[in-house]
């Protein structure tokens, strides 16, 4: 059993279990379980494997995947054999390792207007043999409940309309652009039509776009027509998904635990496995908010779980200022990084606690890919090859910036800013 590590600089690839990616701290092996769900036994096995075959660091990604870091050429074959044997390796082939992303509350959320889990299963099953979908392609399936998926930046978003219909949307800088709506009964066929016709456009050479959002508008209209989508009304507005806290659900409570920068140690994953057996449903759910959700926790056990999780280094409170700061692994862990994103983020945390406590979101990215956060933040810093940052107030890593500053210069600008509203004075020439 062997696999060719993929260079972190090669475009269009996604690392997986069968295709590890060579990066700054060794090989990166990414697991993509359906719905982000892992049994307690699987989570423990992965924690043990990361300790034995990697450097003990794990990441939860902004799609709810789990990455084992620091694997070596020598340890990789045994890790692959183990994960394959346990059914944790993705299917063979060049398509997406996992096509769908769900809220970790799927099938628990009393506010969902359709069952996103069932629709996701059906879409994955129907499109499994589809040839021509790019490896990075994914679909967010959002039942309309308490954890909106708007920020994940999927190729295609399927979101519950007011009446339980399924609105099809593409991400844009202003939110989701609605391309049409189908009834829930027709949503599977409509989604399949959009995906298969996009793959067909690529196979025929009519487009080279790898993401739906990069398609010419007339081709998007063609896809919507091929799926018989009707014009869609506006979606109900919802507050952004919480990143930590206790959420009442159909049976008991869901406890969402956040990890600073999405980084977990093997002990933390093993502890989460133990907690879900002790307090919940013997299953953990990896969240696109870069944390872990434990479901089915009885109310009487919530305080004890929160206490233990806090002492184990998890963030348990949605108002914790650490949640305002987002960073990717950066240099030296990521070979594509131009800047030490987590270290620079911690400098900001150390000196700008008032700003973060006021809820100002700051995203520090080692390069323009924006792995840690696809959406907008109050302040986005994008690592440049010259070691400085592109400074993007009220935007995302995809926005163009004309302000390029070193982290020292950024700190000087930020220090007087104490509140979110005062951020406009820190970088006045770029604030819209
Ligand atoms: S965004 Fe960060 S983790 Fe992603 S490729 Fe760039 S530097 Fe690496």
Residue written as token pair 């507050």: 239
pLDDT of 75 higher than 90: yes
DSSP element (H, E) containing 159: strand 156-160
Whole-number pLDDT of residue 405: 96
Residue written as token pair 């099938």: 107
Mind listing the pLDDT tens digit for each residue in 216-227? 999 999 999 999
Which ligand 1 atom minimizes the distance to the CA of 331? 7
CATH 3.90.480.20 intervals, the chain: 6-94+242-318
Strands 66-71 and 57-60: antiparallel
* pLDDT, the chain, mean: 93
End-to-end CA distance of the chain: 54
- The C-alpha torsion from 171 through 178 and 126 to 218, rounded to 10°, is -90
Whole-number pLDDT of residue 132: 87
- The C-alpha torsion from 344 through 318 and 241 to 359, rounded to 10°, is -50
- At residue 428 the predicted structure's pLDDT band, cuts being 50, 70 and 90, is confident
Q: What is the mean pLDDT of residues 149-161?
A: 95
Lowest mean pLDDT among 9-13, 70-74, 371-375: 9-13
Structure tokens at 1: 């059993």
- At residue 74 the predicted structure's pLDDT band, cuts being 50, 70 and 90, is very high
Sequential DSSP letters for 199-218: HHHHHTTS---SSGGGS-HH
pLDDT-above-90 percentage for the chain: 83
| CB count in 10 Å sphere of residue 231 | 9
Q: What is the mean pLDDT of residues 233-250?
A: 93
Residue 372 CA, ligand 1 centroid: distance in Å = 8
Distance of CA 111 to the CA centre of its chain: 22
Residue 375 CA, ligand 1 centroid: distance in Å = 15
pLDDT of 7 higher than 90: no
User: Cα–Cα distance between 123 and 182 in angstroms, integer?
Assistant: 15
User: In this structure, are residues 331 and 339 in contact, taking their beta carbons and an 8 Å threshold?
Assistant: yes
Whole-number pLDDT of residue 431: 43
Residue written as token pair 């792995």: 371
Mind listing the pLDDT tens digit for each residue in 242-268? 999 999 998 899 999 999 999 999 999
Residues with CB under 6 A from ligand 1: 328-330, 334, 336-337, 365-367, 369-371
Which ligand 1 atom minimizes the distance to the CA of 334? 8
Which ligand 1 atom minimizes the distance to the CA of 23? 8
Q: What is the mean pLDDT of residues 129-155?
A: 93
User: In this structure, are residues 53 and 71 in contact, taking their beta carbons and an 8 Å threshold?
Assistant: yes
Structure tokens at 262: 């999405």
Q: What is the mean pLDDT of residues 272-292?
A: 96
What is the dotted CATH code of the domain comprising 6-94+242-318? 3.90.480.20
CATH 3.30.413.10 intervals, the chain: 104-226, 322-426
Which ligand 1 atom minimizes the distance to the CA of 8? 5
Whole-number pLDDT of residue 5: 56
- At residue 337 the predicted structure's pLDDT band, cuts being 50, 70 and 90, is very high
pLDDT-above-70 percentage for the chain: 96
User: Cα–Cα distance between 345 and 323 in angstroms, integer?
Assistant: 12
Q: For 322-426, which CATH class? A: alpha beta
- Maximum distance among all alpha carbons in the chain? 59
Structure tokens at 175: 């939110």
User: Cα–Cα distance between 268 and 249 in angstroms, integer?
Assistant: 24
- Return all residues near 338 (Cβ < 8 A) that are at least 6 apart: 331, 366, 367, 383, 384, 385, 386, 387
Q: What is the mean pLDDT of residues 115-132?
A: 93
Q: For 104-226, which CATH class? A: alpha beta
User: Cα–Cα distance between 242 and 378 in angstroms, integer?
Assistant: 17
| Partners of 248 in beta bridges | 253
Residue 383 CA, ligand 1 centroid: distance in Å = 9
| 2 CB burial (10 A radius; 0-12, 13-18, 19+) | exposed
- At residue 10 the predicted structure's pLDDT band, cuts being 50, 70 and 90, is low
Mind listing the pLDDT tens digit for each residue in 199-211? 999 999 999 999 9
Residue 75 CA, ligand 1 centroid: distance in Å = 24
Lowest mean pLDDT among 25-29, 87-91, 424-428: 424-428
pLDDT of 13 higher than 90: no
- At residue 173 the predicted structure's pLDDT band, cuts being 50, 70 and 90, is confident
Pocket test for ligand 1, best of 345, 371, 374, 389 (most atoms within 8 A of CB): 371
């Amino acid at each position: 059993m062997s696999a060719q590590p993929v260079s972190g600089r090669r475009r269009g690839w996604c690392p997986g279990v069968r295709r590890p990616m060579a990066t700054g701290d060794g090989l990166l092996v990414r697991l993509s379980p359906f719905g982000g769900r892992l049994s307690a036994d699987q989570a423990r096995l992965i924690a043990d494997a990361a300790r034995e075959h990697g450097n003990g660091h794990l990441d939860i990604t902004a799609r709810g995947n789990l990455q084992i870091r620091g694997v070596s050429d020598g340890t990789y074959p045994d890790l692959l054999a183990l994960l394959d044997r346990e059914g944790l390796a993705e299917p063979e082939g060049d398509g997406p390792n996992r096509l769908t992303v769900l809220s970790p509350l799927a099938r628990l959320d009393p506010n969902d207007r359709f069952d996103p889990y069932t629709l996701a299963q059906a879409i994955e099953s129907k499109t499994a043999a589809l040839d021509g979908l790019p490896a990075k392609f994914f679909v967010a399936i959002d039942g309309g409940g308490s954890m909106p998926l708007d920020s994940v930046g999927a190729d295609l978003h399927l979101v519950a309309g007011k009446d339980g219909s399924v609105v099809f949307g593409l991400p844009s800088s202003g939110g989701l652009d609605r391309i049409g709506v189908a009834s829930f009964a027709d949503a599977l066929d409509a989604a399949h039509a959009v995906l298969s016709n996009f793959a067909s456009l690529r196979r025929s050479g009519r487009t080279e776009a790898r993401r739906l959002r990069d398609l010419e508008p007339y081709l998007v209209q063609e896809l919507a027509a091929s799926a018989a989508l009707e014009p869609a009304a506006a979606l109900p507005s919802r507050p952004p998904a919480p990143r930590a806290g206790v959420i009442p659900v159909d049976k008991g409570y869901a406890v969402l635990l956040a990890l600073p920068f999405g980084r977990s140690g093997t002990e933390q994953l093993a502890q989460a496995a133990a907690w879900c057996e002790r307090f919940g449903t013997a299953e953990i759910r990896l969240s696109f908010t870069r944390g872990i959700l434990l479901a089915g926790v009885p109310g009487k056990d919530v305080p004890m779980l929160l206490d233990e999780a806090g002492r184990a280094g998890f963030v348990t409170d949605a108002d914790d200022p650490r949640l305002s700061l987002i960073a990717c692994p950066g240099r030296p862990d990521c070979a594509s990084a131009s800047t030490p994103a987590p270290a620079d983020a911690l400098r900001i945390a150390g000196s700008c606690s008032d700003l973060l406590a006021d809820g100002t979101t700051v995203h520090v990215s080692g390069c323009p890919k924006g792995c840690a956060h696809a959406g907008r933040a109050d302040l986005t810093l994008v690592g440049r090859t010259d070691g400085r940052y592109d400074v993007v107030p009220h935007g995302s890593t995809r926005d163009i910036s004309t302000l390029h500053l070193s982290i020292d210069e950024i700190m000087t600008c930020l220090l007087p800013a104490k509140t979110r509203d005062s951020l406009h004075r820190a970088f006045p020439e770029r604030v819209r």
